[in-house]
Chains A and B, each alone.
Chain A
Amino acid sequence: MARGSGNRSRLLLIILLVTSLFLVTLDLRGVSLTKSSRSITQSILAPVQNGVSTVFSPVGRFFSSVKNFGKTKAELDQVKAANNLLKAQLAQAADSKGALAQLKGLLNLAGQGGYKIVPARVIGRGSSASFSQTITIDAGSSDGISVNQTVISQNGLIGVVKTVTSNSAIILLISDPSFKVGVRIARSQSVGVLLGQGNSQYQLELLDPTGTIENGDVLVTNGSQGNRPFVPGVPVGQVSSVDHTNSSLTQTAIVRSYANLNDLGVVSVIISAPSVAPKNPISPTPQPTITVLVTPTPTPSPSLSASPTPTPHKSKA
């Protein structure tokens, strides 16, 4: 009896394992059924995440505050001083509408400078069980977002759009181990690759064998063909330590991101880059050349024709 039960269990195990492996094979071969099932789940989950994040985000922030308690205590004095200054400034503000108008003005100013963005709220984060570093935002294809667009926070690059539904999108964060981005050192213009490490520090591998990295070097994105997945000129981070012991041909360094990925509330997706890429040197606009054609004629009164300027109007005496 027990033997029969054991055989049945083994048979059940084999059937379920084969089914699982069949699903894995289908997914790896790119069958849309498995891909679309995740897309449908995201569409269903997004409204739930949206609602829950509104209620639950204070709890999440509480744990974040506990996590950063030591740092917070050290910064408390600075914050108090800044707070006094802000109080004085706040007293001058008429009301929140005035502040909103200022903010709109700032956003317009930012818009004039470069990227066309879609702001979005973070409504979810990737599960710790998946080992991936992602966030979910409440804007999707209906807002103009598509796959492989650059995502920024107020401080710089945070990731790239991984998947999109009509009302939500999943962002692969810069900290994800599979994340790679081409970067440029602002000081030397040397080009390298930044790799996610699964934490708040990233590895920079310089592509130029003659290039050097120095502590404090500022990194910006190098840009991709057609501005996808990365638009050029987005601040990425700062070199915190250079690896001098590495025996490889090119230098490597540890980079600290400008953006705090643990504290993302609102992010922006760059849906179009500026027409003049910041990576290109700004060249002066060429002045138009005026060509004057003079045709000599045998008549005593020579005629002057200038092209393309219109014929001067002769007033009758």
Chain B
Amino acid sequence: MFFFFVLFAIQESAVSLIHFPIAGFSLYLAVTIALIAYEDHDGSIIMGFLAGIVLDLSPTSNGPFGQWALILTLVGYVFASNRESIFDATSAPLTFVLLIAFGVSASLIFYLFFGLLLGESNGSIGRDLIVIIGNIIWTIIFTPIFLPLLRAFQKATTASRQSK
């Protein structure tokens, strides 16, 4: 949970300041999806929920509190249901990067869809598509940079958990 808070602070205070040429990049979502992919069956669902709760704390969010928790819990379940395929993908870096990009875009689409059900105004379809496509592009570009670091962090935490 603390890790998500730190990640959230980095996203809100540093990454959000960058004016990306196409839409933006959500480091928070990319890292969360990667961690969900690394986790075991129930771990994915719980991690999705916790990451969603922290993201719901965002003061700039226009959705109701709990919306991201709902979306990322569902994404966690989708990853948990396809554990074997996901596990194969984590061992191939390029496939894994594409999987993370897919996870990020799926989260954003779920978010938009749920927002639509709640009557939120999220702009034109064209603009939303640009945001999603932009996020996919930047996720593919930036994920290989932080993925080795994340992998090392995940191994360290797993080892720590097993030693307990």
How far apart are B164's CB and chain A's nearest CB, in angstroms? 21
Partner-contacting stretch, out of A51-59, A74-82, A205-213, A218-226:
A51-59
The one of A39, A136, A198 that contacts B127, using a Cβ cutoff of 8 Å: A198
How far apart are A188's CB and chain B's nearest CB, in angstroms? 28
Contacts A/B (CB < 8 Å), 7 sampled: A16-B69, A20-B52, A57-B17, A125-B17, A129-B24, A131-B128, A196-B123
- CB of A90 within 8 Å of the partner chain: no
The interface on chain A, measured as residues whose beta carbon lies within 8 A of the other chain's beta carbons, has a size of 61
Cα distance A42–B20 in the bound complex, in angstroms: 23
B65 touching A24 by the CB < 8 A rule?
A: yes
The one of B17, B52, B73, B121 that contacts A53, using a Cβ cutoff of 8 Å: B17
- Residue ID in chain B nearest A128 by CB atoms: B24
The one of B17, B21, B63 that contacts A130, using a Cβ cutoff of 8 Å: B63
Label chain B's interface by main secondary structure: helix
- Residue ID in chain A nearest B127 by CB atoms: A198
How far apart are B64's CB and chain A's nearest CB, in angstroms? 4
B99: A residues at CB distance < 8 A: none
- CB of A49 within 8 Å of the partner chain: yes
Cα distance A140–B131 in the bound complex, in angstroms: 30
Residues of B36-54 whose CB lies within 8 A of A: 41-42, 45-46, 49, 52
- Total inter-chain residue pairs, C-beta < 8 Å: 183
Cα distance A48–B20 in the bound complex, in angstroms: 21
- Residue ID in chain A nearest B15 by CB atoms: A127
> Interface centre among B17, B28, B59, by most A CB within 10 Å?
B59
- B residues lining the A interface (CB < 8 Å): 9, 11-21, 23-26, 28-29, 41-42, 45-46, 49, 52, 55-67, 69-70, 73-74, 77, 80, 107-108, 111-112, 115, 118, 120-124, 127-128, 131, 134-135
Cα distance A54–B2 in the bound complex, in angstroms: 25
> Interface centre among A16, A19, A38, A198, by most B CB within 10 Å?
A16
- Residue ID in chain B nearest A50 by CB atoms: B13
> Interface centre among A49, A123, A132, by most B CB within 10 Å?
A132
A132 touching B12 by the CB < 8 A rule?
A: no
How far apart are B150's CB and chain A's nearest CB, in angstroms? 18
A22 touching B70 by the CB < 8 A rule?
A: no
B80: A residues at CB distance < 8 A: 9
B121 touching A177 by the CB < 8 A rule?
A: yes
Partner-contacting stretch, out of A60-68, A271-279, A308-316:
A60-68
B127 touching A177 by the CB < 8 A rule?
A: yes
The one of A20, A60, A136 that contacts B60, using a Cβ cutoff of 8 Å: A136
The one of A20, A38, A64, A198 that contacts B73, using a Cβ cutoff of 8 Å: A20
The one of B49, B64, B69, B111 that contacts A28, using a Cβ cutoff of 8 Å: B64
Cα distance A60–B19 in the bound complex, in angstroms: 6
